[in-house]
């Protein structure tokens, strides 16, 4: 059997230290211990991966308790499957998932399996693809020994995704989405027999039978890939997006827009990210475009049934509802304060996507100006300075601040001194004279 100790020794010191500590503690318990799954695949491929899946042939919970004590960090137990998670802070942030070796039995298609404890071989057999079904022994005596019952190493060399058995995509159809994701990420090929199984499972409508939250998680993982559009095209070709909504159709226009999301996000990240405290979720940009052909009621129903986060739902719907209205408002001659008033209440994801939708150069410029300057504009005077001028917090106070900000946006002043003069002469004096 191949030994990957050399590759392991080239891991960042934090990772190596954790692996060795895990091996040593497992030795004290007398448990065989392995790193498994994607981490092993990525070690062989030379891809950075700090999500470590650890499997012990023994009680994973007791083991993790001791590990977290030695590492002096907290842990979370998931008692149902005797699994536990530890986050190790530091320059390299490591996530450790520890599980007890187990086997799974699927009583009915697309439902969750029955689970019982088993050997490392059982644990590897229940996995999605052979390339994800390898283990690395990290016990002290065999550190780095590759455990490969299903020729994952050969398939990895050949860049092939092969399933573990014929019923794989019936038992768990989310594996179809995983296959597409890995195929596109690594440039692998879904092996012909597996592809046939995928098509059969899709033709039987299996994907539509999966719990929606599991589909949601896999969809988000696809949208978080560096180039998700390739995976989306592949899904469109295989069966389309019926698993999201029966009438969801992604036409060439939508694909063209999806492709532009990439450049759009890059442009935003290069020019603006440092200026904005609001983080733009790239995966959400894709989701918003992907769903743009659904109506507002369809969107609401679908997004709620998939239990997307409330804020994310609101953004998808806002794009659908507000885009045309906002673009039409921006057609008019308006001062900077007017542009600010229109765009500020919207999320950054929605504002950014409106850039793609707006055809008119003037409108695009207004949106860009908002992102570049207006959205970050603040007045100079601080709350306590305003209080010194006799202003008291309340509805009036807020209106005054807004008026001051609008005046600043419209270029009525720039320095703090000018701002103070403007406040006294243009705002407060008028208020007093009313
Ligand atoms: P990534 O690099 O995207 O994190 P990964 O392979 O590490 O990929 P995870 O979702 O973290 O993917 O899963 C870890 C491992 O668990 C996989 O490598 C695979 O062995 C197994 N696994 C995950 N999901 C499934 C599934 N639906 N069916 C069977 N095995 C699975």
DSSP code per residue over 207-219: GGGS-HHHHHHHH
The total domain count for the chain is 4
- 46 and 184 share one domain: no
Residue 23: inside a domain: yes
Mutate to test the pocket of ligand 1, among 96, 113, 127 (most ligand atoms within 8 A of CB): 127
Same-domain status, 141 and 21: yes
C-alpha to C-alpha distance for 41 and 178, rounded to whole angstroms: 15
**What does the pLDDT read at residue 408?**
83
Q: Look up the domain containing 37 and give its range.
A: 1-154
- CA–CA separation, 162 vs 182, rounded Å? 11
> Quick one: 150 and 22 in the same domain?
yes
| pLDDT given at position 275 | 59
In this structure, the number of other CB atoms found within 10 A of the CB of residue 393 comes to 10
Interhelix angle for 228-238 vs 252-271, to 10°?
Answer: 170
182 C-alpha to ligand 1 centroid (Å): 10
* Mean per-residue pLDDT pooled into runs of 10, the chain (434 residues): 85 93 96 97 94 94 92 87 88 92 88 87 97 97 96 98 97 97 97 98 96 97 96 95 94 95 90 68 97 96 97 97 96 92 93 94 93 78 79 78 83 85 80 63
Ligand 1 atom 30 nearest Cα: 127
Number of C-alpha atoms within 13 angstroms, CB side, residue 308? 22
Q: Are residues 125 and 24 in the same domain?
A: yes
* Ligand 1, CB within 6 Å, residue ranges: 37-38, 51, 53, 127-128, 132-133, 172, 174-175
Whether 50 and 137 map to the same domain: the answer is yes
| Residue at 325 is within a domain | yes
**CA of residue 123 to ligand 1 center, whole Å:** 12
Same domain, 269 and 334: yes
Can you read off the two tokens belonging to residue 84?
A: 């536990």
* pLDDT recorded at residue 278: 64
Q: Which pLDDT belongs to residue 155?
A: 98
Q: Which helix (H) or strand (E) holds 33?
A: strand 33-36
Distances (CA, A) of 414 to 254, 277, 404, 419, 423: 43, 23, 11, 7, 12
Is residue 246, in this structure, part of any structural domain at all?
Answer: no
Instruction: Tell me how crowded residue 95 is: count the other CB atoms within 10 A of its CB.
Output: 12
Are 291 and 425 members of one domain? Answer: no
Beta carbons within 8 Å of 360's beta carbon, 6+ residues apart: 327, 331
Q: Sign of the CA dihedral 45, 49, 54, 55?
A: negative
Same domain, 199 and 89: no
Is residue 178 packed enough to be buried (19+ CB in 10 Å), middle (13-18) or exposed (0-12)? Answer: middle
Nearest atom (ligand 1) to Cα of 172: 27
Domain containing residue 172: CATH number: 1.10.110.30
Q: Which residue has the tokens 């999320």?
A: 347
Buried b (16+ CB within 10 A) or exposed e, 15-30: beebbeebbebbeeee
315 alpha carbon, distance to own chain's centre? 16
Residue 92 lies in a domain: yes
Tell me the C-alpha distance between 34 and 56, whole Å.
6
Same domain, 18 and 130: yes
292: Cα separation from own chain's centroid: 19
Q: How far is the CA of 38 from the centre of ligand 1 (A)?
A: 6
Pairing type for strands 94-100 and 51-56 reads: parallel
Q: Is residue 245 part of a domain?
A: no
Same domain, 228 and 313: no
Task: Decide which of 219, 240, 261 is a domain's last residue.
Answer: 240
pLDDT at 283: 97
CATH number at residue 322: 1.10.3090.10
State the residue for tokens 């990420």.
185
The rounded Å distance from CA 132 to ligand 1 centre is: 7
- Indicate if 345 and 217 belong to the same structural domain: no
Whole-number Å distance, alpha carbon 34 to ligand 1 midpoint, is 15
Ligand 1, pocket-test mutation among 34, 36, 37, most atoms within 8 A of CB: 37
CB atoms within 10 A of CB 226: 9
Same domain? 150 vs 176: no
CA of 133, closest atom in ligand 1? 20
Separation of 39 CA from ligand 1 center, angstroms? 9
What's the pTM value of the predicted model, to 2 decimals?
0.90
């Amino acid at each position: 059997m191949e030994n990957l100790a050399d590759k392991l020794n080239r891991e960042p010191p934090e990772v190596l230290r954790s692996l060795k500590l895990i091996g040593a503690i497992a030795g004290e318990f007398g448990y065989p211990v392995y790193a498994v799954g994607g981490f092993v695949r990525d070690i062989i491929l030379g891809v950075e991966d700090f999500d470590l899946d650890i499997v012990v042939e023994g009680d994973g919970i007791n083991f993790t308790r001791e590990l977290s004590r030695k590492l002096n960090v907290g842990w979370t137990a998931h008692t149902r499957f005797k699994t536990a998670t530890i986050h190790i802070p530091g320059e390299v942030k490591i996530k450790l998932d520890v599980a007890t070796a187990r086997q799974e039995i699927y009583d009915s298609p697309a439902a969750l399996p029955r689970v019982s404890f088993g050997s490392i071989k059982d644990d590897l057999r229940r996995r999605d693809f052979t390339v994800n079904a390898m283990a690395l022994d990290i016990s002290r005596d065999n550190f780095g020994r590759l455990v490969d019952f299903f020729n994952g190493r050969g398939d990895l060399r050949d860049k092939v995704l092969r399933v573990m058995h014929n019923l794989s995509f019936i038992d768990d159809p989310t594996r179809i989405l995983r296959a597409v994701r890995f195929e596109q990420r690594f440039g692998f090929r879904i092996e012909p027999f597996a592809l046939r199984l995928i098509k059969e499972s899709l033709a039987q409508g299996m994907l539509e039978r999966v719990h929606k939250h599991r589909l949601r998680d896999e969809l988000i993982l696809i949208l978080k890939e560096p180039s998700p559009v390739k995976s989306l095209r592949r899904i469109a070709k295989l069966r389309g997006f019926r698993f999201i909504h029966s009438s969801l159709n992604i036409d060439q226009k939508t694909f063209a827009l999806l492709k532009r999301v990439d450049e759009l996000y890059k442009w935003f990240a290069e020019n603006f990210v440092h200026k904005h405290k609001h983080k733009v979720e790239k995966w959400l940009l894709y989701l918003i475009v992907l769903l743009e052909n659904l109506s507002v009621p369809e969107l609401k129903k679908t997004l709620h049934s998939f239990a997307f986060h409330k804020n994310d739902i609101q953004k998808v719907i806002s794009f659908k509802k507000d885009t045309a209205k906002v673009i039409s408002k921006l057609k008019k001659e308006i001062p900077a304060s007017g542009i600010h008033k229109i765009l500020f209440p919207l999320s950054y994801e929605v504002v950014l996507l409106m850039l793609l939708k707006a055809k008119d150069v003037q409108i695009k410029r207004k949106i860009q100006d908002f992102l570049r300057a207006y959205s970050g504009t603040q007045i100079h005077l601080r709350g306590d300075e305003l209080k010194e001028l006799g202003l008291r917090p309340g509805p009036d106070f807020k209106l005054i601040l807004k008026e001051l900000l609008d005046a600043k946006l419209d270029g009525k002043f720039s320095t703090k001194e000018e701002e103070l003069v403007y406040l006294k002469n243009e705002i407060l004096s008028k208020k007093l004279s009313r």
